[in-house]
Structure formats: C-alpha cells, structure tokens
C-alpha cells in the first residue's frame, strides 16, 4: 500500500510540474501575441506612409534615423520570427497537455485500483 501511495505522490508531483510548465508556456504565448499585434500595428502605420517619410528607431535612450525600406523589412522579419515562436510554443503546449493527460489518466487508474 505504501508503494502505491509513493507512486501516486510522484505522479501528482509530475502532473503539477506539467501544469506549471503549461501555465508558463501560455503566459509566453500571450506575450508573443501582444508583440505580434504591436508589430502588426506598426506595419499598418507604415502602409499609410510614403517611402520618403522619415523613420526613427529607438535604440536605448536615442532616436536614430532609419531607412524606410529597412524599417519595413525589420518589421516583416520580426512578425515572421514572432509567428514562428508562437507556433513553437503552441507545439510545446500541446505536448505538455498530452503528457499531463497521460499522467492524470494514470493517477485515476491507480486510485480506482487502490479503491478496489
């Protein structure tokens, strides 16, 4: 009986660990989504400007002039990078969910078995 309790305790700890990792990943996903929306807004603003507009980039406490096409390219690259990161985090979330579900099913099965 003590062996079953130890196994249940270790499974519960593993389940909690997966839940915490999923929470961290969901938070990360939310931050990435915010960054994506911000960059999308910047891209929309660029579309309303003409190619002769002056663009400045905040680098530390200094605003530095930046070429319009270079700024557009940087925003496009950032959007692409953020999309790739979102996909990567979503894959990790799905993996953690599967693992947590597997552990939860194992816990339920052990509790049912112990109850008999």
| Domains (range + CATH), the chain | 2-115 (1.10.287.370)
Block residue for tokens 């894959």: 91
pLDDT of amino acid 115: 73
Q: What is the pLDDT of residues 4-34, one digit of tens each?
A: 788 889 999 999 999 999 999 999 999 999 9
Q: What are the φ and ψ backbone dihedral angles of 53, each rounded to 5 degrees?
A: -65, 145
Report the DSSP beta bridge partners of residue 55. Answer: 66
Of 106, 96, 112, 102, the closest CA to residue 19 belongs to 96
- In the chain, % helix, strand, coil (3-state, to 5) comes to 80, 10, 10
Global pTM reads 0.83
The answer to whether 52 and 68 have CB atoms below 8 angstroms apart is yes
Q: What is the pLDDT of residues 52-86, one digit of tens each?
A: 899 999 999 999 999 999 999 999 999 999 999 99
- The Cα 39–Cα 20 span in angstroms is 29
């Amino acid at each position: 009986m003590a062996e079953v309790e130890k196994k249940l305790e270790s499974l519960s700890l593993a389940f909690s660990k997966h839940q915490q990792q999923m929470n961290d990943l969901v938070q990360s996903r939310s931050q990435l989504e915010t960054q994506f929306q911000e960059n999308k807004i910047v891209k929309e603003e660029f579309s309303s400007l003409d190619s002769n507009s002056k663009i400045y980039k905040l680098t530390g406490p200094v605003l530095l002039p930046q070429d319009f096409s270079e700024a557009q390219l940087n925003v496009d690259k950032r959007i692409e990078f953020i999309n790739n990161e979102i996909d990567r985090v979503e894959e990790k979330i799905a993996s953690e969910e599967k693992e947590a579900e597997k552990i939860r099913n194992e816990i339920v099965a052990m509790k049912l078995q112990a109850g008999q």
